[in-house]
């Protein structure tokens, strides 16, 4: 699949790059995408929820009433779960929600997400660029020149670039990340994927 290369002024450079069919042209696997997104969302959960059980509630351990003959449920101390203010039965405990997913499944999910973007014509390739100093106005100009203003943008760079990251940080609905850390959730969440030229070989290396 061939795609035109643009510069940051939004002009077609006349050059084209070929997107690998093994990454951007496969038949998407929806179940692999589901598993990868589920794993990503699970890993974001803090898992610090906690409620006090019977042994942790502050209160006397004195038995409040007779075992039999009271006409109600058997209950022991004031911390009993059947009483208001008592402990909770089977309440939430701190836990780790993350789970393992095979590398091949995660790779298939990323390829599937990228293939969906290619099918939707939601991929742009731009020449490598840099800013001398971090400036939000400069990054906004790039977005406007590429005619993707107002859309949810994911800019993919080949390597960390502090000036580009800081320039984009304050712009709503814009995210910047490295090609090596690309994940299924971020690709699907973006309305348009902007890839720098030098990021393409890294995506190929990671996913093929």
Query: Which residue range is the domain that position 183 belongs to?
Result: 2-29+102-207
Instruction: Return left, alpha or beta for 131; rule: phi > 0 is left, psi -120 to 50 is alpha, else beta.
Output: beta
Q: What pTM, to 2 d.p., does this model score?
A: 0.86
For the CA atoms of the chain, what is the radius of gyration? 27
Domain count, the chain: 1
Predicted confidence (pLDDT) per residue in 131-170, tens digit: 999 999 999 999 999 999 999 999 999 999 999 999 999 9
Cα(61)–Cα(48) distance, rounded to whole angstroms? 28
Q: pLDDT digits over 99-109, tens only? A: 999 999 999 99
pLDDT value for 138? 95
Asked if residue 73 has pLDDT above 90, the reply is: no
* 208 — pLDDT class (breaks 50, 70, 90): confident
pLDDT category at 1 given cuts 50, 70, 90 is confident
Is residue 86 in some structural domain?
A: no
List Cα–Cα distances, 99 to 31, 36, 39, in angstroms. 16, 10, 6
In total, the chain counts a number of residues equal to: 208
Q: What pLDDT does residue 22 have?
A: 95
Give pLDDT, residue 159. 94
- Cα–Cα distance measured from residue 62 to residue 56, given in angstroms and rounded to the nearest whole number: 15
When pLDDT is averaged across residues 49-55 and rounded to a whole number, the result is 95
pLDDT at 46 over 90: yes
- Asked if residue 65 is part of any domain, the answer here is no
In a domain, 35, yes or no: no
**Is there a domain that residue 94 lies in?**
no
Mean pLDDT of the chain: 95
Q: Confirm whether 174 is domain-assigned.
A: yes
Q: What is the pLDDT of residue 41?
A: 97
> What is the DSSP annotation of 144-175?
HHTT-TTS-EEEEESS--HHHHHHHTTSTTEE
CATH assignment at residue 151 = 3.40.1370.10
Is residue 192 pLDDT above 90, yes or no? yes
Residue 50 domain-assigned (yes or no) = no
Lowest mean pLDDT among 59-73, 105-119, 160-174: 59-73
pLDDT at 35: 98
Residue 154 lies in a domain: yes
Residue 75 phi, psi dihedral angles, 5° rounding = -145, 150
| Residue 90 falls inside a structural domain | no
């Amino acid at each position: 699949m061939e795609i035109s290369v643009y510069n940051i002024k939004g002009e077609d450079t006349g050059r084209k790059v070929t997107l690998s069919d093994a990454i951007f042209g496969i038949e998407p696997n929806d179940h692999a995408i589901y598993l990868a997104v589920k794993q990503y969302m699970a890993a974001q959960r803090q898992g610090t929820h906690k409620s006090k059980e019977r042994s942790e509630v502050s209160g006397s351990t004195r038995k409040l009433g007779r075992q039999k003959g009271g006409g109600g449920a058997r209950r022991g101390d004031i911390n009993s779960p059947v009483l208001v203010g008592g402990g909770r039965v089977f309440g939430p405990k701190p836990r780790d929600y993350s789970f393992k997913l095979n590398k091949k499944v995660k790779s298939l999910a990323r390829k599937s997400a990228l293939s969906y973007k290619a099918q939707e014509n939601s991929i742009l390739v731009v020449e490598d660029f840099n800013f001398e100093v971090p400036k939000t106005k400069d990054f906004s100009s790039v977005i406007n020149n590429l005619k993707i203003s107002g859309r949810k943008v994911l800019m993919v760079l080949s390597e960390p670039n502090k000036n580009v990251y800081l320039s984009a940080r304050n712009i709503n609905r814009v995210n910047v990340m490295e090609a090596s850390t690309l994940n299924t959730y971020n690709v699907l969440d973006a309305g348009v994927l902007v890839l720098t030229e030098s990021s393409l070989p890294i995506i190929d290396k990671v996913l093929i």
